[in-house]
Amino acid sequence: MRSVVRSPYAVEPSALPKARPPRRRPAPLGTPAVVALWSSGVVSALCLWLVLSGLVLGTVQYHADQGRLYDTFREQLAGSPLVNAPLGPTTTGAPVALLRSPRAGIDDVVVVEGTASGQTQRGPGHRRNTVLPGQRGISLLFGRGLTYGASFAGITRLRTGDKITATTGQGVFTYRVDGVRRTGDPLPLPLAANGGRLTLATLEGATWLNGFTSHDVVYVDATLQDKAMLPDAAYPAAVTKSEDLMSGDSGALLLLLMWVQALLVVSCALGWAHVRWGLWQSWLAGVPVLLLILWSASTAAAQLLPNLL
């Protein structure tokens, strides 16, 4: 019988590693599951977008609006043959004045007609039942203190004697600051006959720590140093509730619901496209549309918040 010589390098079969079973790939998600994931993801993105829009993207939108308003108002001041700068009541959202106050960080900021949230997103708003700057009486301007450019965030730096300059279709007018006041402080003295006063109002104290829930309104009063002018027509006796201090515009709720519905429809369509086309193809087709809808929805949602925020 032939003897078997074992190699010293031989390995027992039991010592060999066992072959791993092939990995099973997870079953692909069905269309309903993908659509649900897309919908929940888009809604979550909307919530994050609302915060980002007010604090960052809203500022970009504010500066773009201010650039367009400045060009329009400059043409009106130059005597455009199509339209002149307003001398009295005008269309809501139209530019009515240029405001300058270096200490407050206000440099040729365009004031628009109206004080609802939709107007103060574009710039300081002129309360429609008060006179325009430079005219006889009290002119009241509302500006945001935190979001959408925060055009009036620096008015608390103003001190008695500082100057505020307002340019309108009736000329350039200089105001002298009388002081800064808050709720509960004494009101300024009655306005002199044929005199003019400018009052700026904004929100202060809204921070991350209090969840932006501050309702503290601060005012700056300034007296006109030039001859007060007269408007070319009578101003309305009252304004809508959405134009009051710290009010939101409930009329934007319907617009917001329409944009949210559009957002859900697009997210469902992208979920279907993900299953039929693939992930990257659906992202390539859907991201521009999503960004447009998110931007529009967040702008409408911001109009439900206080007009000074």
Whole-number percent of the chain with pLDDT over 70 = 77
Task: Give tens-digit pLDDT for 81-119.
Answer: 567 889 999 999 999 999 999 999 999 999 999 999 999
Mean pLDDT, all residues of the chain: 83
**Above 90 in pLDDT, residue 6?**
no
**Above 60 in pLDDT, residue 14?**
no
pLDDT of residue 81: 58
pLDDT of residue 100: 97
Q: Which of 154, 160, 176, 309 is nearest to 247 (CA)?
A: 309
Task: Give tens-digit pLDDT for 244-253.
Answer: 999 999 888 8
Please state the φ and ψ torsions of residue 226, each to the nearest 5 degrees: -110, 175
Residue ranges per structural domain of the chain: 33-53+251-302, 61-243
Which tops the pLDDT comparison, 96 or 56? 96
Whole-number percent of the chain with pLDDT over 90 = 49
CATH architecture of 61-243: Beta Barrel (2.40)
Q: Which residue has the tokens 């209090």?
A: 210
Integer angstrom CA distances of residue 56 from 60, 196, 287, 295: 7, 36, 20, 12
**Above 90 in pLDDT, residue 271?**
no
Q: Which residue has the tokens 């859900």?
A: 264
User: What's the rounded Cα separation, in Å, for the pair 28 and 34?
Assistant: 10
pLDDT of residue 225: 96
